[in-house]
Structure 1
Amino acid sequence: MNLASPFSLSVVAITALAFLGLPIGHAMIAGSILYLMLAGLDMGTAAEQILNGMYTNYIILAVPLFILAAELMNIGSMTDRLMAFCNAIVGRFRGGLAHVNILQSVIFAGMSGSAIADAAGTGKMMQQMMTKDGKYPASYAAALTAATAVIGPIIPPSIPMVLYALVSDASIGYLFLGGVVPGLLMALAQMLIVVVDARRRNFPVEKPTPLGELPRITWRAFPSLMMPVVLLGGIYSGATTPTEAAAVAACYALVISVVLYRSVSFADFYRSVLSSARTSASIGMLIAGALVFNFVVTIENIPQTLSLILQAWDLSPLAFLVLVNVILLVLGCILEGTTILLVIVPVLIPTAQALGIDMVHFGVMVVVNIMLGLITPPYGLLLFVMTRIAEVPLRDLVRDVLPFLFAMGGALAFITFMPDAVLWLPRLLGYQG
């Protein structure tokens, strides 16, 4: 590659601006405009790509709506009721609160679709519950909370899967279905680690909930437990598109919290809308930057060139998937997940298609990789979130999160080598891939 070429200078500019502290979305837009200027192309193309990409992709609307649904759920008493339900189910075992942490992430995964939202919302509550009276070390509670939050965007709904559908044209509905089994496998792997740790470190046994109380607790949580049913039922019955289902989820969370539970004030609602808008705006800028930079990448024929290079290596589909796993896990240590999804993954998709790899299987595998990147040192974003929430040293948090990371890595290897584990449920509901 010519180091003085417009593309090289563009990449250098993006990297330099990002290191200087400019948000990566803004850096990609600036670097792409620099490329257009140096290449003698119309710089207005940058605005054209952003506008066309943003206003012709109806799917993007699902992102802020899922974020709003998560915010509305966290400000109401839906969280408390669901936590009580989880505690009644698994709290009676040794290390019960750790199992509650995992189960609540599985249940809340069907509502928010955001790992950061789960960690900052229910994760903060679990951190306080686990460390109360010194029951669990703060670093262990924070590590488990970070690991369980990873499950959220794998089990539907999933904001990363929405973004993958944006760059791959894969079906969101079948991607959502494909994430169910891998998400449950990761939860099982985490529970096995907790079982071992509970006996080795003598974690406490919580006071069991009387069986007679279980129907009452379940009934109190029932409207909240129905949210994933409403959301996914609308999608797979054909009544709503995924974007419309996201709007239904947000409305359902609002109605349950305000009308039924009466636990949300106008001030709470205003703050949740404001927080959702800020998060959506930051993701929107990343998408905008990726749209422009992907146009530059396409002009330079990077995907086709990479595809030809990999074909010359004569890789089998399985070898290619292993290579992609390695690449994404390494990049996950240093890059933010949305950037990988919007910039790196589109370059890999043509090769995957040429090798006959199923796009739903590939998408789920990619999302699992990116989620593991959230708890992979040194950059893992969830590690920094939980360090701030739990006020524990990063080195202690990393030490306690590594067993969970390795266990979930085993689940990733399983779904990589066994595509049917991902595709079984989508095929059961009509997927032809």
Structure 2
Amino acid sequence: MTLASPFSISIVAMTILAFLGLPIGHAMIAGSIVYLWLAGLDMGTVAEQLLNGMYTNYIILAVPLFILAAELMNIGSMTERLLRFCNAIVGRFRGGLAQVNVLQSIIFAGMSGSAIADAAGTGKMMQIMMTADGKYRASYAAALTAATAVIGPIIPPSIPVILFALVSDASIGYLFLGGVIPGLLMAGAQMLIVAWAAKRENFPFEKPTPLREIPGITWRALPTLMMPIVLLGGIYSGATTPTEAAAVAAAYALIISVLLYRSVSFRDFYTSVLASARTSASIGMLIAGALVFNYVVTVENIPESIKVLLQAWDLSPLGFLIMVNILLLLLGCLLEGTTILLVVVPVLLPTAKALGIDMVHFGIVVVVNIMLGLITPPYGLLLFVMTRIAEVPIRDIVRDVMPFLWAMIASLALITLFPDLVLWLPRLLGYQG
């Protein structure tokens, strides 16, 4: 492959279009068309790849359904009741409201599957609660919300895990199970950092919830707390596929918000559907562009070439995983996570399989890396989201998020070194990997 080869020119075209502001999905489609034209291949292949990829992958339907479920939870009072429950459990300790932020992300992770949905939903409410009366610095509250939102796509359900399953053909159900312990490990690391900061900066105590009120608060939050059980119970009992479970999640959120809590108007519902459609269309274009570009990558035999190159380095499975961690953490500073999942990861998969690396373990390692990219400067998307929500300079958020980032990188190292942290739960429920 030379600088004047069709593949090199298509990469240059893609990069230029992306820098000029064209959405990355459109840029990948345009670059792929340039490649097919220069290589003298059938231009109709673009449409064929789009149709085959988008309309024969039943799993992709889960993405817009989980997005809709998260939107419906945010417009109803489900989020508010969840925060009251979390505050009743951990709010009484020093820095209790910061611990509430972590706990609500653990619970909310079992519902939305999206870090952005977590930050934009409960994140807004936590920002208001934490900064009221000057209890916490606005930048610290924003940094903590960004860090806790990372947990969302690691604990099931998870949109990034669904996308990994799409490109790897790994089992979604076992990937979901594999994310539970790593997600809880990262949440535990965050709680330790909060406890350390609470003692160092003398964070305030919250007014403790009387014990006699906790049963009532729990009862009112129970329909919300049951959602992860309904969702994951359907998947692991075999009653639903992950895609069908996503539809159940959206329907459950709608029924609870409208019929039980009576907190959603028709205008709210219309707004949430519209927002879900916009987000789904954006992700859909990325998937479409990646499907076409991955065809180009396959024609050029790039994955096999990289596999041969890495085999020449004689890497061990652990050495390869360390290299993948470094590569993905660096790429996460610059690229959007979905792009990495759909374009970069397929190139690495043949080598991972050749080295005998378990696909569930590899998938969780990849997803954790990509989630950390959301809070890694300079591109970290969650940093920009929280900058808009908190209205504070991004440099202040970056300063306060770094202890959480280092703690989660340490958790990633443990997940990489000890595969059983990922594989124990799937194997407990029948996984043979």
Equivalent residue, structure 1, for 2:104 = 104
Give, in angstroms, the shift of residue 45 of structure 1.
Answer: 0.3
Equivalent residue, structure 2, for 1:33 = 33
1:86-101 correspondence to structure 2 within 5 Å: 86-101=86-101
Equivalent residue, structure 1, for 2:345 = 345
Question: Quick one: distance in 2 between partners of 1:316 and 1:33?
Answer: 38
Equivalent residue, structure 2, for 1:114 = 114
- For 1:112, what is the secondary structure of its paired residue? coil
Question: Quick one: distance in 1 between partners of 2:19 and 2:97?
Answer: 40
Question: Quick one: distance in 1 between partners of 2:394 and 2:156?
Answer: 30
Equivalent residue, structure 1, for 2:429 = 429
Question: Quick one: distance in 2 between partners of 1:368 and 1:427?
Answer: 20
Give, in angstroms, the shift of residue 32 of structure 1.
Answer: 0.1
Displaced runs of 4+ in structure 1, greater than 6 A?
none
Which residue identity is paired with 2:393? Answer: P
Q: What TM-score do the two structures reach when normalised by structure 2?
A: 1.00
1:354-369 correspondence to structure 2 within 5 Å: 354-369=354-369
Question: Quick one: distance in 2 between partners of 1:247 and 1:272?
Answer: 15
- For 2:349, what is the secondary structure of its paired residue? helix
Question: Quick one: distance in 1 between partners of 2:377 and 2:123?
Answer: 20
Equivalent residue, structure 1, for 2:333 = 333
Equivalent residue, structure 2, for 1:414 = 414
Question: Quick one: distance in 1 between partners of 2:66 and 2:158?
Answer: 8
The answer as to 2:94 corresponding to 1:69 is no
Question: Quick one: distance in 2 between partners of 1:22 and 1:332?
Answer: 20
Question: Quick one: distance in 1 between partners of 2:251 and 2:111?
Answer: 12
Give, in angstroms, the shift of residue 223 of structure 1.
Answer: 0.5
> Any stretches of 5+ residues in structure 1 without a counterpart?
none
- For 2:92, what is the secondary structure of its paired residue? coil
Equivalent residue, structure 2, for 1:288 = 288
Question: Quick one: distance in 1 between partners of 2:362 and 2:108?
Answer: 24
Equivalent residue, structure 2, for 1:250 = 250
1:187-336 correspondence to structure 2 within 5 Å: 187-336=187-336
The answer as to 2:11 corresponding to 1:18 is no
- For 1:379, what is the secondary structure of its paired residue? coil
Give, in angstroms, the shift of residue 39 of structure 1.
Answer: 0.2
Question: Quick one: distance in 2 between partners of 1:43 and 1:13?
Answer: 17
Give, in angstroms, the shift of residue 180 of structure 1.
Answer: 0.3
Equivalent residue, structure 2, for 1:134 = 134
Which residue identity is paired with 2:34? Answer: L
Question: Quick one: distance in 2 between partners of 1:211 and 1:176?
Answer: 35
Question: Quick one: distance in 2 between partners of 1:248 and 1:120?
Answer: 22
Which residue identity is paired with 1:149? Answer: A
Partner deviation per Cα, 1:359-410 (whole Å, 9 max, x = no partner): 0000000000000000000000000000111011111110000000000000
The answer as to 2:57 corresponding to 1:57 is yes
Give, in angstroms, the shift of residue 95 of structure 1.
Answer: 0.2
Question: Quick one: distance in 2 between partners of 1:401 and 1:205?
Answer: 22
Question: Quick one: distance in 2 between partners of 1:210 and 1:405?
Answer: 35
The answer as to 2:384 corresponding to 1:375 is no
Which residue identity is paired with 2:419? Answer: P
- For 1:357, what is the secondary structure of its paired residue? coil
Question: Quick one: distance in 2 between partners of 1:195 and 1:224?
Answer: 27
Question: Quick one: distance in 2 between partners of 1:126 and 1:154?
Answer: 21
> Any stretches of 5+ residues in structure 2 without a counterpart?
none
Which residue identity is paired with 2:360? Answer: V
Question: Quick one: distance in 2 between partners of 1:192 and 1:324?
Answer: 27
Question: Quick one: distance in 2 between partners of 1:192 and 1:79?
Answer: 24
Which residue identity is paired with 1:256? Answer: I
Question: Quick one: distance in 1 between partners of 2:424 and 2:75?
Answer: 36
Give, in angstroms, the shift of residue 144 of structure 1.
Answer: 0.2
Which residue identity is paired with 2:179? Answer: G
Give, in angstroms, the shift of residue 36 of structure 1.
Answer: 0.2
Which residue identity is paired with 1:373? Answer: G
Question: Quick one: distance in 2 between partners of 1:133 and 1:391?
Answer: 17
Give, in angstroms, the shift of residue 187 of structure 1.
Answer: 0.4
Give, in angstroms, the shift of residue 346 of structure 1.
Answer: 0.2
Equivalent residue, structure 2, for 1:80 = 80
Partner deviation per Cα, 1:7-45 (whole Å, 9 max, x = no partner): 000000010000000000000000000000000001110
Partner deviation per Cα, 1:34-61 (whole Å, 9 max, x = no partner): 0000000011100100010000000000
Question: Quick one: distance in 2 between partners of 1:199 and 1:271?
Answer: 42
